[in-house]
Amino acid sequence: MDLDLGPEHELIRDTVRAFAQERVAPVAAELDREHRFPYELVAEAAELGLMGIPIPEEYGGAGGDTLSYAVAIEELARVDSSVAITVAAHTSLGTMPIFLFGSEEQKRQWLPALASGKRLAAFGLTEPDAGSDAGATRTRAELRDGQWVIDGSKIFITNAGTEITACVTITARTGEDEVSNLIVPNGTPGYEISPPMDKLGWRASDTRELSFQGCAVPEANLLGERGRGFRQFLEILDGGRISVAAMGVGLAQGAYDLARSYALERHQFGKPIASFQAIQFQLADMAVEIEAGRALVYKAAWLKDQDRDFRLEAAMAKLYTGELSHRVVNTALQIHGGYGFMEESPIARFYRDQKILEIGEGTNEVQRMVIARDLGLP
Ligand SMILES: Cc1cc2nc3c(=O)[nH]c(=O)nc-3n(C[C@H](O)[C@H](O)[C@H](O)COP(=O)(O)OP(=O)(O)OC[C@H]3O[C@@H](n4cnc5c(N)ncnc54)[C@H](O)[C@@H]3O)c2cc1C
């Protein structure tokens, strides 16, 4: 058993850490305040090969493993969650379905631009009436004269409406008890994208409502086998959970870093508040939980890299890091006192960005359902 990161993992960690500190940190607050999508940072991340880390080089990706990808997402979220989710959703939700289930032709058509980060992709599963119960999808696609004609809507879809978004993969009902995945290119007539949604956090990330009315795409845009959509999206979510869990660890680490430096600088009663045991215990508890959360994330990533079943560990990592980041960011803000409640203080942004980690890619309750099922409970 070797718990050290290998040299290639250390290299990616150091590269992304430098990128996050030197390029993302100086603009994160401004992007958040202005709800502005980070086009320049996406282009720079693409240059560094960060927009397709686990996609093989032959398709334009970096050919890295899941652990490299998780380490990269953790480092981004340590500084800014909007940039981290932009990269994570593009990779795990936008690009991965095409890589995992696409025909060779589809892969050649879409992956080089996506995995190199020139274009972005999205995954549209959630609907106004189908969230946790994602199988209740109502969007329909009917095969007519060699085309899938799509009618329905999706909600809260990340990366769907940027200027560089190439496509969205959506789940649609293609028969009575049949769900399939279809690739819908942006710009297809009948496919409308709402203005960006106004969010509590992740404000520099792109989140949209999608509407399909008589939207026709070629029959060849079916992804994988017809009727396999349900299984496919479960698999996508399992993998995506590792990256959202990495975001939980990264956000918690970033919140801890802020709290620790603030506690050392802030003086009350004639000494740094870090010298009070109450504050020390809070920081100590945070450090313990972050370490435990990181171990869960790395284990889930490692299992996936060994081609072993990782579903249970991914759900555990996602649940634990969602809840630990909640506790950590709450305590970190507490340590900042009133200054933490001011928008000018970075911890306020971390606090707003945290909550969605307990909702997206399956809520805490859904993770517990997945874990309980895996434990063989009836
Ligand atoms: C910023 C953002 C980005 C997102 N990006 C994407 C994306 O790119 N693609 C995409 O497809 N989706 C995306 N989503 C959607 C996200 O995955 C859903 O919001 C999430 O799955 C929960 O669905 P819901 O919001 O409909 O809540 P609901 O399913 O309505 O849940 C409401 C509450 O009921 C609980 N609940 C539901 N069923 C049960 C049950 N059986 N037992 C116990 N409790 C239950 C839930 O845990 C939750 O607390 C995004 C959401 C947000 C907010």
325-338 pLDDT per residue, tens: 999 999 999 999 99
The finding on whether 356 has its CB within 6 A of some atom of ligand 1 is yes
Q: Is 361 a catalytic residue?
A: yes
The active-site residue, picked from 178, 289, 361, 365, is 361
The finding on whether 171 has its CB within 6 A of some atom of ligand 1 is no
Cβ proximity of 142 and 148 under 8 Å: yes
Protein residue with least CA distance to atom 2, ligand 1: 156
276-318 pLDDT per residue, tens: 999 999 999 999 999 999 999 999 999 999 999 999 999 999 9
pLDDT, residue 147, reads 98
- Whether 17 has a pLDDT exceeding 90, the answer reads yes
d(CA 139, CA 157): 14
CA atoms within 13 A on the CB side of 62: 22
d(CA 345, CA 326): 18
312 CA from centroid of ligand 1 (Å): 19
Report CA Rg, the chain: 21
The finding on whether 56 has its CB within 6 A of some atom of ligand 1 is no
166 CA from centroid of ligand 1 (Å): 25
Q: For a ligand 1 pocket test, name from 35, 96, 359 the mutation site with the most ligand atoms within 8 angstroms of its C-beta.
A: 359
150-182 pLDDT per residue, tens: 999 999 999 999 999 999 999 999 999 999 999
pLDDT, residue 203, reads 98
The finding on whether 244 has its CB within 6 A of some atom of ligand 1 is no
What are residue 244's DSSP bridge partners?
none
227-274 pLDDT per residue, tens: 999 999 999 999 999 999 999 999 999 999 999 999 999 999 999 999
pLDDT band, very low/low/confident/very high, at 1 (cuts 50, 70, 90): confident
318 CA from centroid of ligand 1 (Å): 14
The finding on whether 157 has its CB within 6 A of some atom of ligand 1 is yes
The finding on whether 158 has its CB within 6 A of some atom of ligand 1 is yes
Question: Residue 127 corresponds to which tokens in the numbers above?
Answer: 């609907």
Protein residue with least CA distance to atom 38, ligand 1: 132
Average pLDDT over residues 54-59: 98
113-159 pLDDT per residue, tens: 999 999 999 999 999 999 999 999 999 999 999 999 999 999 999 99
- Whether 368 has a pLDDT exceeding 90, the answer reads yes
pLDDT, residue 129, reads 97
The finding on whether 363 has its CB within 6 A of some atom of ligand 1 is yes
d(CA 161, CA 129): 21
- Single out the residue of 357, 332, 264 nearest to residue 74, CA to CA: 357
d(CA 158, CA 115): 17
- Whether 39 has a pLDDT exceeding 90, the answer reads yes
327 CA from centroid of ligand 1 (Å): 21
